Amino acid sequence: MKAIAFSGSPRKNGNTDILARHTLKAIEEEGLDTELIRVTDLNIKPCNACKVCKTKETCPIKDDLFPLYNKMKEADAIIFATPVYFGSATPEIKALMDRAGYIAYWHRTFERKVGGPLVVGGRSGHNFTVAQIAFWYFILGGIVPGSIDWNVAFGNDKGEVEKDKDGLETAWTFGKNVAWLVKKLKA
């Protein structure tokens, strides 16, 4: 059983990476393998709407997308962590969601994957970003467990999210619920 978290923050070891690692630790404690992948360290171009993926389970754009798509296919849980940028997920994480999601949409390869969003921002726009990511799961047949609040945390400067105890507890409980659900589905 495996859970992957994708971080869409350009800032290495920033608030998004911290929050994603925190959730993965909660999942790991329950016996699942975990991996954090920083999307912004890779080259993932936006979708160009060629629609090759409609007939073939592939993407002709030559970049880092397809190995990630295969990893997502193999994983039991997929988590997208992003900072809020102008009330939205970052373009890097959105490119991954669009590209991998469109292949999965035509071939129904992400059905019953467990997962959800992790969102960190300084002030506002969190809930829209949570919804933006949650909708990705809903159209692809994914299953999104809840937590003790929506999966948001607050922080601006690098590392500031560590001070948001409620945000950390929400991310932690989300991780526990992801692991619980994966194990139930696998039982």
Residues that bind ligand FMN (CB under 6 A): 9, 11, 14-16, 83-87, 120-125, 155-156, 158
Q: Which residues of 68-103 are buried (b: 16+ CB within 10 A; e: fewer)?
A: bbebbbebbbbbbbbbbbeeebbebbbbbbbbbbbb
Q: How far apart are CA 69 and CA 75, in angstroms?
A: 10
Closest separation in Å from C-beta 88 to ligand FMN = 7
Q: Which is nearer to ligand FMN, 113 or 126 (CB)?
A: 126
DSSP string for residues in 66-98: HHHHHHHHH-SEEEEEEE-BTTB--HHHHHHHH
Closest separation in Å from C-beta 18 to ligand FMN = 8
Q: Which is nearer to ligand FMN, 84 or 179 (CB)?
A: 84
Residue 139's nearest CA partner among 148, 131, 150 is 131
Is 127 in a helix, a strand, or coil? helix
Closest separation in Å from C-beta 7 to ligand FMN = 7
Q: Which is nearer to ligand FMN, 93 or 104 (CB)?
A: 93
Closest separation in Å from C-beta 186 to ligand FMN = 31
Beta carbons within 8 Å of 14's beta carbon, 6+ residues apart: 83, 158, 159
Closest separation in Å from C-beta 30 to ligand FMN = 25
Q: Which is nearer to ligand FMN, 31 or 87 (CB)?
A: 87
Q: Which is nearer to ligand FMN, 84 or 100 (CB)?
A: 84
